[in-house]
Chains A and B, each alone.
Chain A
Amino acid sequence: MPTKTYAGVEVPVDDEGYLTDSSRWNREVGQAIAEELGLELTDEHWKLIDFARSDYAERGQTPGLRRMAANTGVGMKDIYRLFPKGPGKLIAKVAGVPKPKSCI
């Protein structure tokens, strides 16, 4: 399995660079992934990232955008402003949780 090193932490990732072990993540790792993606993280970004992590830990699935908007107070348009080009995937990648998937 491929690995990558972020903020001095070696983490296992899948072919698309998503962490395959969410427990190896810490905020410095998240920060480093965001930098690699060209994102400058603000408190609003972190609201979404933190919710994605806590929700994944509780429910075992990466939350959808509507769920993130409803639970963080960050509106859908703002989510797209903060994470342009695919917020669902970008938030998942930075937060170290699986990207949104279907059953096949």
Chain B
Amino acid sequence: MKTLAVLGAGTGGTIVANRMRKRLGKDWRVVVVDPRDQHLYQPGLLFLPFGRYEPEELLRARKDTFRSGVEWLRSEVVGIDGEARRVEFAEGEPLSYDLLVVASGVRLRPDLTEGLTGPGWREKVFDFYSLEGASALRAALSTFEGGRLVLNVVENPIKCPVAPLEFLFLADEYFTRRGVRDRVELVYATPLDAAFTKPQAAKKLGYLLEEKKVHLVTEFMTSEVDGAAGHLRSYDEREEPFDLLVTIPTHSGAAFVERSQLGDELAFLPTDPHTLRSKNIPGAFVVGDATDLPTSKAGSVAHFEAEVVCDNLLLAAKGEEPEPLFDGHANCFVETGWGKALLLDFNYETEPLPGRFPTPWGPFTLLEESRRNHWGKLAFHWLYWNALLPGRPLPVEARMSLTGKELPQETTEQPERAEA
């Protein structure tokens, strides 16, 4: 009996385990390791603070997310012995594997910023990338009658780099509906030098910040947060006052990656950008947010990577070399408020372009707001549980297609790679 071990049962790990259970023979065990009882639908965290979802709508019992035949081990991984091909746990016997997929995601690290978890944390300083943070923020927003709301990204990379902007667009709608928008100042403090840093996105979407009246603060690298005084400070000694801070904390890889020193300075795992093979763990592939790849940390990326990794696991099971199939593809809806959204589709080489994205339900508009995109984003919640996680096919290819995209007539940019 051989063993495929999958570390982490988030989006990427669950898809890999379910698909591989179908594709590997009865001579293989598929073992998923994750200590948490519930699976969280992370895209819903954006809507939770605005009361558009209840927390329980975003959770499913993890046991119900696996196909029959997938073994689930509720253990905390503490290390990987790559030479012995063994996963070690806090308690219990180590697990020997023939093939390994590391899908251990990221951890939010507010502790890495001075003062961030000090006075005011979850009172006037919130994150919304966790269920606890988003729920606490919901209560705070509902009684916010006016003042300066600052949203800051501490440093990149973060999950879903567009979510901070989406949050501000939805906040504009939310406060307008509550009749207090004219008393709320919305501020976006980013370490980058613009809200839209890719040429076509900047050209097509630059109007949004003005339309939503979001004040932009650029190149703001947060050095410390003082929740009691209500300001954050940057390394170049600028200060931004706030009445309510919504922060996207630093992200790092899993604790066991950090302890075992398998990752980089933020515990992201060195990964081949095209085969998705681990660069330093023999027989292992890496999926989703855990990688150090220059594409977005996003569910769609984890999904496309999972498809490539499944193909390569089958090759590896036969003793063959993996194929360089992954192109950095990401496909993300961006909510802009008032029932509209836009769609982004890009990869390592191609920036998000305008045009149409064909699907069986009709075309979505790329880099352009439409109602259909918004409904697509909401409908995805159902698809996530019922098609994506179980490993059923979705009408989006793992590799990006140029069909429907409008290529810029004249560009001063070389094809480039997405960073965050």
Chain A residues within 8 Å of B, Cβ to Cβ: 1-2, 14-15, 20-21, 59-62, 64-67, 70-71, 76-77, 79-80, 84-86, 88-89, 98-104
Main secondary structure on chain A at its contact with chain B?
loop
User: Across the interface, do A59 and B294 meet the contact criterion of CB distance under 8 Å?
Assistant: yes
A62 to B198, CA, bound (A): 15
| B83 at the A interface (CB under 8 A) | no
**A100 and B156 within 8 A (CB):** yes
**Are A104 and B162 touching (Cβ within 8 A)?**
yes
* Complex interface: chain B residues within 8 A of A101 (CB): 192, 197-198, 416, 418-420
Residues from chain B with Cβ under 8 Å of A62 in the complex: 419
Interface residues in B389-420 by Cβ distance below 8 A to A read: 412-414, 416-420
Q: Do A77 and B235 touch (CB < 8 A)?
A: yes
CB <8 Å contact, B330 and A102: no
Given contacts A20-B413, A80-B236, contact A103 B296 (CB under 8 A): yes
Interface residues of B, Cβ cutoff 8 Å to A: 155-157, 161-162, 191-193, 196-198, 201, 205, 219, 221, 223, 235-236, 250, 264-266, 273, 292, 294-296, 330, 332, 334, 344, 346, 348, 352, 412-414, 416-420
Partner of B344, one of A21, A77, A103: A103
Question: Within 8 Å CB of B219, what residues of A?
Answer: 86, 88-89
Task: Please name the residue on chain A nearest to B202 by beta carbon.
Answer: A104
Residue of A nearest to B221 (CB): A65
A60→B156 contact, CB < 8 A = no
Other than the given A99-B197, A104-B201, 14 more pairs (CB < 8 A) read A14-B412, A59-B294, A60-B348, A66-B250, A76-B223, A84-B236, A88-B191, A98-B417, A101-B416, A101-B418, A102-B156, A102-B192, A103-B295, A103-B418
Q: Considering the chains assembled together, what is the distance between the CA atoms of A86 and B219 in angstroms?
A: 6
Closest 4 CB pairs of A and B: A70-B265, A61-B294, A104-B201, A101-B197
Query: Which residues of B have CB within 8 Å of A60?
Result: 273, 294, 348, 417
- Contact (A66, B420) CB under 8 Å given A84-B236, A103-B330, A104-B205: no
B198 touches which one: A2, A61, A89, A104 (CB < 8 A)? A104
A15 to B348, alpha carbons, bound, how many Å?
Answer: 21
Chain A's closest residue to B273 (CB) is: A60
What A residues does B161 contact at CB under 8 A? 102-104
